[in-house]
Structure 1
Amino acid sequence: MYSFGLGDEFAIILLLIFVFYKFTQFYVFLILSTLSLILWIWHLYDKKQYWQKLGVPCSPANIFVGHMLEVKSKDGVIQFDKENREKFGKTYGMYLLDMNNLVTSDLDLIKQVFIKDFVHFPTRSGFPLTQNKKIIQNSLLRSMVSVVQGDDWRRVRNTITPAFTAAKLKKIIPTISESSNELINYISRKYVVTNEEIPLKEIFGLFTIDVIGRSGFSSDFKTFSGEENEIVKQALLFSNATKKMAFFAVLTFFPSIKELLENYFSIDLWDMPAQKYFHGLMSKLYDERKDDPEAKDKFNDIFQLLMNAVNDSEIEDITMEQTTNEINNNLITKQNDKYLSKIELFAQGFMLLIAGYDTTASVLQFAAYMLAMHPEVQEKLREEINSVLGIDEDISYEHLKKMDYLQAFLQETLRMYPPAPVSNRACNSNLNLNGINLREGDLVSIPIYSIQHNEEFYPEPEEFKPERFIREEKASVDPLTFLAFGLGPRNCLGMRFAEIQMQVVIALLVRRFKFKPSQNSPKLPLELESVMLLRPKKELVILAEDLL
Structure 2
Amino acid sequence: MNIFGWDVPLWVSLTAIVITLLYWYGTATYGYFKSRGVPYKPAYIPFLGDVIEYLTVPHTIIQRRTMKRYPGKVYGTFQGRTPVLQVANAEFVKEITIKEFSSFTNRRDLVDEDSIAGNHIGMIRDDHWKHVRSLLSPTFTSGKLKQMYSVIQGCSDKFVKHLKSTQAEPIAIKNYTAGYTMDVIASTAFGLDIDSQERTDHPFIYHAKSFFFRPKDDRFSSKLSSFLGIVILLLCPKTLKRILARFVDVSFLGAETMEYFGNILNTVFSQTQSQLEKRKDFISMCSDKVVDLDKVDKDSIKVTNGKRWTTEGLSKRDVLANAAIFISAGYETTGSTLEYFFYIMAVHPEIQHKLHTLIAEVVDENGECPYEDLKKLEYLDWCIDETMRMFSIATRLEREAKTDITVKGIPISKGDGVQIQIHALHYDPDYWTDPEKFNPDRFAPEKPD
> Given the two structures, how large is their TM-score scaled by the length of structure 2?
0.86
Aligned counterpart, 2:4 = none
8 Å CA contact retained: 1:174, 1:395: no
Aligned counterpart, 2:177 = 204
Q: How high is the sequence identity, in percent, across the aligned residues? A: 24
CA distance change for structure 1 residues 245 and 35 in 2, over 3 Å: closer, same or farther? closer
Could you tell me which of 223, 228, 237 is aligned with 2:201?
228
8 Å CA contact retained: 2:50, 2:80: yes
CA distance change for structure 1 residues 429 and 230 in 2, over 3 Å: closer, same or farther? same
CA distance change for structure 1 residues 327 and 187 in 2, over 3 Å: closer, same or farther? same
8 Å CA contact retained: 2:33, 2:39: yes
Aligned counterpart, 1:162 = 138
Aligned counterpart, 2:149 = 173
Moved more, 64-73 or 103-112: 103-112
Aligned counterpart, 1:149 = 125
Could you tell me which of 111, 118, 131 is aligned with 2:94?
111
Deviation sequence 1:328-365 (CA, Å, 0-9, x none): 79x998xxx46100111112221123333211111111
8 Å CA contact retained: 1:174, 1:396: no
* Distance in 2, Cα, partners of 1:291 & 1:175: 21
* Distance in 2, Cα, partners of 1:441 & 1:332: 23
Indicate yes or no: 2:22 matched with 1:40. yes
Determine helix, strand or coil for the equivalent of 2:83: strand
8 Å CA contact retained: 1:140, 1:275: yes
Aligned counterpart, 2:349 = 375
Could you tell me which of 54, 59, 64 is aligned with 2:41?
59
Aligned counterpart, 1:270 = 252
CA distance change for structure 1 residues 275 and 364 in 2, over 3 Å: closer, same or farther? farther
* Distance in 2, Cα, partners of 1:271 & 1:173: 30
8 Å CA contact retained: 1:81, 1:447: yes
CA distance change for structure 1 residues 328 and 43 in 2, over 3 Å: closer, same or farther? closer
Q: Which runs of 5+ in 2 are unaligned?
A: 1-6, 215-225
Aligned counterpart, 1:282 = 265
CA distance change for structure 1 residues 121 and 260 in 2, over 3 Å: closer, same or farther? farther
CA distance change for structure 1 residues 374 and 152 in 2, over 3 Å: closer, same or farther? same
Aligned counterpart, 2:328 = 354
Deviation sequence 1:130-181 (CA, Å, 0-9, x none): 4xxxxx2xx2111211111111111111101111112220222222111111
1:380 Cα offset (Å): 0.4
Aligned counterpart, 1:300 = 280
* Distance in 2, Cα, partners of 1:328 & 1:46: 36
8 Å CA contact retained: 1:66, 1:98: yes
CA distance change for structure 1 residues 43 and 266 in 2, over 3 Å: closer, same or farther? closer
Could you tell me which of 401, 412, 426 is aligned with 2:386?
412
* Distance in 2, Cα, partners of 1:128 & 1:304: 26
Match for 2:331: what amino acid? Y
Indicate yes or no: 2:113 matched with 1:140. no
Match for 2:159: what amino acid? L
* Distance in 1, Cα, partners of 2:110 & 2:203: 32
Determine helix, strand or coil for the equivalent of 1:78: helix
CA distance change for structure 1 residues 427 and 126 in 2, over 3 Å: closer, same or farther? farther
1:409 Cα offset (Å): 0.8
Deviation sequence 1:411-470 (CA, Å, 0-9, x none): 111111222100111123444444433333221111011101111111111111110112
* Distance in 1, Cα, partners of 2:209 & 2:309: 31
Determine helix, strand or coil for the equivalent of 2:360: helix
8 Å CA contact retained: 2:67, 2:424: no
1:245 Cα offset (Å): 2.0
1:28 Cα offset (Å): 4.2
* Distance in 2, Cα, partners of 1:466 & 1:118: 30
Indicate yes or no: 2:225 matched with 1:249. no
Could you tell me which of 258, 281, 287 is aligned with 2:241?
258
1:108 Cα offset (Å): 2.8
Match for 1:233: what amino acid? Y
1:399 Cα offset (Å): 2.0
Could you tell me which of 207, 214, 238 is aligned with 2:211?
238
Aligned counterpart, 2:397 = 423
CA distance change for structure 1 residues 451 and 28 in 2, over 3 Å: closer, same or farther? same
Determine helix, strand or coil for the equivalent of 2:301: coil
Could you tell me which of 61, 81, 105 is aligned with 1:79?
61
8 Å CA contact retained: 2:29, 2:83: no
* Distance in 1, Cα, partners of 2:81 & 2:436: 34
CA distance change for structure 1 residues 275 and 363 in 2, over 3 Å: closer, same or farther? farther
Match for 1:48: what amino acid? Y
* Distance in 2, Cα, partners of 1:105 & 1:332: 36
* Distance in 2, Cα, partners of 1:186 & 1:120: 47
1:291 Cα offset (Å): 4.6
* Distance in 2, Cα, partners of 1:223 & 1:266: 32
8 Å CA contact retained: 2:186, 2:192: yes
CA distance change for structure 1 residues 119 and 68 in 2, over 3 Å: closer, same or farther? same
Aligned counterpart, 2:438 = 464
8 Å CA contact retained: 1:126, 1:426: no
8 Å CA contact retained: 2:232, 2:241: no
Match for 1:305: what amino acid? M
Moved more, 195-204 or 429-438: 429-438
Higher relative contact order (CA 8 A, sep 6+): 1
* Distance in 2, Cα, partners of 1:95 & 1:304: 43
1:103 Cα offset (Å): 0.6
Determine helix, strand or coil for the equivalent of 1:460: coil
* Distance in 1, Cα, partners of 2:347 & 2:280: 37
Aligned counterpart, 2:219 = none
Deviation sequence 1:239-282 (CA, Å, 0-9, x none): 3435222321220xx343235456x8896532324333222222
Match for 2:425: what amino acid? I
> Given the two structures, how large is their TM-score scaled by the length of structure 1?
0.71
1:230 Cα offset (Å): 2.1
CA distance change for structure 1 residues 429 and 268 in 2, over 3 Å: closer, same or farther? farther
Pairwise CA RMSD of aligned residues? 2.8
* Distance in 1, Cα, partners of 2:445 & 2:414: 43
CA distance change for structure 1 residues 392 and 470 in 2, over 3 Å: closer, same or farther? farther
Aligned counterpart, 1:507 = none
* Distance in 2, Cα, partners of 1:108 & 1:281: 44
* Distance in 1, Cα, partners of 2:42 & 2:292: 56
Aligned residue pairs: how many?
424
Deviation sequence 1:73-95 (CA, Å, 0-9, x none): 112x2111222111122111100
8 Å CA contact retained: 2:29, 2:82: no
Indicate yes or no: 2:414 matched with 1:440. yes
8 Å CA contact retained: 2:268, 2:284: no
